[in-house]
Amino acid sequence: MSEFDQPQLTVLFEAERIQARIRELGARITEDYAGRSPVLVIVLKGAVPFGADLLRSIDLPVTLDFIAVSSYGASTQSSGEVRLLKDLDASLKGQDVIIVEDIVDTGLTLAYLLDMFHRREAASVRVAALLDKPERRRRAVEVSYIGFTIPNEFVVGFGLDYAERYRNLPYVAILDPARQAGSPERTPGIPMSGPGFSPRQAPVG
């Protein structure tokens, strides 16, 4: 069966629509940062496709860096602990930083990164996220560049994974295992949404 066309996937944003939206965000960033050279910090792994496209739609001398963190979903760790897995290559001191994220969910990851980058004396820090899921927010974070706001659904594709799968889909889809061929009801243990849903218990991003 094709990896790109499966019954448990309901397309939310087609590839063309995502590309058009990224071009708009890139144009806005180009305007907002005119005369400056921002550093794009791509949060591994989920923001790689978004970051790669956003980067190419910004008409400025940008630089690129990568960071990896792991976080724990609200249901497993009430502390909302975030751990640094891979640090940046370069110092952010005096830099205009744009954090590039795949999705803002609880906001815990971003709150952690924003705090860390301010402590490292970045000149400015803003956030670009392909998706925003505001219903599940636990920490208030300002996201300057949002691709799409989505309801409280578990989505995959365009970098977003479920157990490391589906990152390569060129579109964003709602994952509903209940719609899998030959599967009469929702597969136990597959988190979807609501209080039991815990998107990131393992190092991903």
What Rg, from alpha-carbon coordinates, does the chain have? 17
Nearer to ligand IMP, 33 or 127 (CB): 127
Confirm if 76 and 140 have CB atoms less than 8 A apart. Answer: no
115 annotated active-site: no
Confirm if 20 and 132 have CB atoms less than 8 A apart. Answer: no
**Bridge partners, residue 62, by sequence:** none
Q: Which one among 22, 26, 106, 113 touches ligand IMP, defined by CB under 6 A?
A: 106
Which of the stretches 5-13, 23-31, 107-115, 117-125 binds ligand IMP when contact is defined by CB under 6 A? Answer: 107-115
- Binding-site size, ligand IMP (CB under 6 A): 20
Confirm if 147 and 138 have CB atoms less than 8 A apart. Answer: no
Binding of ligand IMP by 176 (CB under 6 A): no
Question: Of the residues 53, 59, 65, 105, which is catalytic?
Answer: 105
**Bridge partners, residue 129, by sequence:** 101, 146
Binding of ligand IMP by 107 (CB under 6 A): yes
| Sites for ligand IMP among residues 61-100 (CB under 6 A) | 71
Q: Which one among 143, 155, 169, 172 touches ligand IMP, defined by CB under 6 A?
A: 155
Classify residue 144 as left (phi > 0), alpha (psi -120 to 50) or beta. alpha
Binding of ligand IMP by 154 (CB under 6 A): yes
Nearest Cα to 101, choosing from 23, 158, 61? 158
For residues 181 to 200, the per-residue mask of contacts with ligand IMP, x marking binding by CB under 6 A and - elsewhere, is ------------------xx
Nearer to ligand IMP, 49 or 199 (CB): 199
Buried b (16+ CB within 10 A) or exposed e, 3-13: eeeeebbeebb
Catalytic residues: 105
Binding site for ligand IMP (CB under 6 A): 46, 71, 101-109, 133, 154-156, 160, 199-200, 204-205
